């Protein structure tokens, strides 16, 4: 049974994506910095994880090492901290019939080519940095057969932005997670490091 780590599972897209992976037969390790009711309600292993805390990361890494990871759905900060906390990162197997991958949810505002309105400088810059790190990670892991997929979920109706409820193209977290899953599972090593919208189109850098 493949194992997946999913962050942000106490609400929103993270919670919905964890449910998708559980239904697809993954052994899911669901995490959030708040160990709330929605996290605990998931039918899988769960853990509190605060990427700002070395102690929290170390405890989580020990939990992960009990099962080789075949899918990563994780924050870039977690990956970087794992590499400095451990002498080696969590094991990632790449074998026939088992997908090894990193999946990132990235805002479209990280695209430089797609910027036609300007403004929001700090937010755009931070998302462009996430894209750049994801692209580098794709290059570093390609020889290991690990696919890195960067995904833009579009506008989603979550508590993060209450105004999204009035946006015509906004969808509920379950729909966003389902569409992201369909894209993610369709991508192979030839697609590693590319940036995709939830509706399937490739986004420019």
pLDDT at 180: 93
pLDDT at 59: 84
pLDDT at 175: 97
Cα(39)–Cα(17) distance, rounded to whole angstroms?
A: 12
pLDDT at 160: 79
Is the model's pTM score more than 0.85? no
pLDDT at 101: 64
pLDDT at 23: 96
CB 130 within 8 A of CB 74: no
pLDDT at 54: 83
Identify the segments of the chain with pLDDT beneath 50: 74-99
DSSP structure string for 40-63? HHSSSEEEE--TT-HHHHHHHHHH
Domains in the chain (CATH in brackets) are 3-108+134-197 (3.40.50.720)
pLDDT at 110: 82
pLDDT at 82: 43
Q: How many CB atoms lie within 10 A of CB 205?
A: 16
pLDDT at 103: 60
CB 131 within 8 A of CB 150: yes
pLDDT at 78: 45
pLDDT at 190: 95
């Amino acid at each position: 049974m493949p194992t997946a780590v999913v962050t942000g599972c106490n609400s929103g897209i993270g919670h919905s994506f964890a449910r998708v992976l559980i239904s697809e037969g993954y052994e899911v390790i669901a995490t959030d910095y708040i160990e709330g009711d929605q996290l605990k309600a998931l039918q899988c292993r769960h853990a509190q994880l605060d990427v700002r805390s070395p102690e929290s990361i170390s405890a989580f890494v020990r939990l992960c090492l009990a099962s080789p990871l075949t899918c990563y759905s994780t924050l870039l900060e977690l990956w970087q901290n794992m590499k400095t906390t451990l002498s080696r990162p969590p094991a990632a197997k790449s074998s026939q019939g088992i997908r090894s991958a990193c999946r990132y949810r990235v805002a479209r505002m990280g695209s430089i080519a797609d910027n036609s309105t300007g403004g929001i400088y700090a937010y755009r810059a931070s998302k462009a940095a996430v894209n750049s790190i994801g692209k580098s990670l794709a290059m570093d892991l390609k020889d290991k057969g690990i696919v890195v997929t960067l995904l833009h979920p579009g506008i989603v109706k979550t508590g993060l932005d209450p105004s999204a409820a009035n946006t015509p193209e906004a969808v509920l977290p379950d729909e966003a997670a389902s569409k992201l899953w369909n894209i993610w599972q369709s991508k192979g090593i030839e697609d590693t490091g590319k940036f995709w919208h939830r509706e399937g189109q490739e986004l420019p850098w």
